[in-house]
Amino acid sequence: MSKRPNVVRGINIVRPRAVPVITSLCRTARIAEIVNRMVKWDEDKARVSPGLLIEALVVCIMCGRKPLWKVEQFWADQDLELLFQGVDLTSSHQLNDDALGRALDRLAEVDMKELLSTASLALLTAHKLSMSTIHLDTTTISVQGAYENDSHGQFKIEYAYGKDHRTDLKKFKIGAAIQQQGLPVFSELLSGKKSDKEWNPEAVLEMKELFGNKGYKDVVFVSDCVLVHTESLKLLANEHIQFISRLPETFNLAGELKSLAFEKNDWHDLGHLSTSDFKKAARYQTYSIRHELCGRMYDFVVVQSSTLEERKEKTLLRRIKIQKDELEKEARDLARRNFACEPDAKSAMDDLMAKALALGFGVQGNTLKKETASYSHKGRPRKGEQPTIAVSYHASCVIGDIRDEFYEELKKKESTFVLIASVKDREKYNDMGILLEYKHQSSIETKFRFIKSPVYLGPVFLEKPERVEALGYVFMLVLLVASYLEYRVRRGLKEAGQAVLLPGNKKTDRPSVQTIMEIFNLIEVLIINGERYFPENLPLQAFSMIEWAGYDPTKIYLEPLACNFA
């Protein structure tokens, strides 16, 4: 068809979706400005700055460009005049894959951790937020592709263990940290085999210095049990670092404190901590004590969870079966042994019975004297020949089921874990405060699920390890922006006392980033003879979402966005 039928001239439709909002957040984070200041580039020759290209890539990934190639097609559908007013950007072709790849090469030459932390602090300051606690963790990313050189500086893409069990794929790691509202403050790309035990204390020391220089004092660091080992405890103590973590079961003290808690039976009932799904929520009780570990005093909280008890029961039953099978094998081996005297047989029997009883099993045993007649030669004995009588002793044990009272005690102990804390304000971080802070560790795992969502990368982005590393940091910038979008919308909903309407007439005041983006995807703008308007049939919830995010719909979608970079 050579002509389009029934065309109304002077009217165009653009589908900005969330692009203006995400672009505005990128500029609040000063991403383009920071990149332009850090990388080497010729301002006189470059029509589009590397900072703008990195900002464009963040927006593109955040707004769902999948697969991530031919990116200029994404920008061809956007209102470039409003988004980049004052910038010499005449065509979406200037935002092509090759230009973005070269921008990643420049980014790989600078301290990308500094870039991320600077952008994080810019957003934190703009939103007038604090940093009292920091949660940190790592995750593994599997990649496909061949590389001429697998390493870039200390960053190495290599075969390593991952929870996806894809031993055929090379991997790298991401280490990240969030503050108490779940907003990222620190990120780092790591080699695939980087040990969590090494990275956790290293990152804590680095963040203490970094944020301490920015005026954030007395921060409490929260991590999983990989933070706690002999060397790390010494490092943390020497730097007077406050932390909350889980005491690994490899420390004998963990078992000792659990036993002490059940022996004392002086539990502090915290009740339900969850405010949602109250019927299924766990009940918690705690026992706290101050105790020495590695030559220093710490606060310990033994925690028992009702739901943990239910989840652990199957594991416990499997372990009990294995123990019983092993005891029964030892009993069979014991029955085959010959002892020269009854005390030896009884001693061996008592040892096995004591072991079974210690593991909670019922057990019965006895010893047996056995006499065996034999002759000194082969064949039939001669008439009147008397046999030699050999006397041996044997022991037998019958292993019964585990005792009911012992099984109940095991279930209780299985449902407990021990938290370790070194904090100044013990009033704020009482048993409840320490447990709540540790439970918030799951929020960083939620962030990792977001960045591990599949995005298919074009060949230009996987040419070499330095581009993979730089792109990894771009994804962390995406996570940063997404986290603040989610925070702003949830804050707006709370302040307005409203909720997002979901399919099935369900409501939520804590929508996910995915839900937020789905509603933004409904937004369209009409351009009629150069003037911009919202269509009459645009869903009201789309307007509301813009306002919940803290923006005026008209200013953010129909008027030029402020640019704070060249």
Q: What is the DSSP letter of 459?
A: G
Instruction: Reduce the DSSP state of residue 436 to 3 states and report it.
Output: helix
pLDDT score of 462 more than 50: yes
pLDDT score of 372 more than 50: yes
Q: What is the pLDDT of residues 51-102, one digit of tens each?
A: 999 999 999 989 876 556 778 888 988 999 899 887 877 788 888 888 888 8
Beta strands in 207-277 (DSSP E): 220-222, 242-246, 268-272
What single-letter amino acid sits at 87? V
Phi, psi torsion values for 281, nearest 5 degrees: -70, 145
Residues in Cβ contact with 441 at an 8 Å cutoff, skipping those fewer than 6 apart: 135, 137, 222, 223, 224
The Cα 376–Cα 520 span in angstroms is 99
pLDDT score of 475 more than 80: yes
Q: Which two tokens stand for residue 239?
A: 């730097």
pLDDT score of 549 more than 50: yes
Enumerate the β-bridge partners of residue 184. 178
Residue 457's pLDDT band, with cuts at 50, 70 and 90, is very low
Question: What's the pTM value of the predicted model, to 2 decimals?
Answer: 0.82
The larger pLDDT score, comparing residue 472 to residue 374, is at 472
pLDDT confidence of residue 449: 75
The Cα 283–Cα 264 span in angstroms is 20
The answer to whether 287 and 261 have CB atoms below 8 angstroms apart is yes
pLDDT confidence of residue 64: 75
pLDDT confidence of residue 224: 92
Instruction: Reduce the DSSP state of residue 388 to 3 states and report it.
Output: strand
The answer to whether 374 and 390 have CB atoms below 8 angstroms apart is yes
Phi, psi torsion values for 150, nearest 5 degrees: -80, -5
The larger pLDDT score, comparing residue 154 to residue 257, is at 257
| Arithmetic mean of pLDDT over the chain | 88
